[in-house]
Amino acid sequence: MTDPAAFDYSGPEALRQPVADALGRVVDPEMALTILDVGLVYRVAVDDATARVVMTMTSAACPVADLIVEDVELELERVLPRDRFIEVDVVWEPPWTRERMSERARRFMGW
């Protein structure tokens, strides 16, 4: 079974793991879990000019959404070639559900 916290990736294979590692360093401060464990990242597409992250938040009223997006950008800047423009799109469809959380996150939350 695929981990529900996993995200779709398209782009150079050599960047797949560095991108995953970078996103794995971004923490949702409200939940004290990484955005990957929470299941906030839906898709990452990297091409010669752009790295585009499609993600969501646990709710539209998330008070730390701007902080999370900024952290995503900062962490990706550390691992991507400097000529890549980083674009983070926060979407609400499909809506986030706790089923997107990793098993580790569910255990941490006591679910």
pLDDT tens, position by position, 72-99: 999 999 999 999 999 999 999 999 998 9
Q: Does domain 8-97 have CATH number 3.30.300.130?
A: yes
pTM, two decimals, is 0.92
Model confidence band, residue 5 (pLDDT cutoffs 50, 70, 90): low
Q: Locate the domains of the chain by residue range.
A: 8-97
Two structure tokens written together for 76: 């990706």
41 contacts 7 by C-beta, under 8 angstroms: yes
The partner residues of 15 in beta bridges, in order of sequence, read none
Secondary structure (DSSP) of the chain: ---TT--EEES-HHHHHHHHHHHTT-EETTTTEEHHHHT-EEEEEE-SSEEEEEE--SSTT-TTHHHHHHHHHHHHHHHS-TTPEEEEEE--SSPP-GGGS-HHHHHHHT-
**Mean pLDDT across 15-39:** 95
Single-letter amino acid code for the residue at 98: R
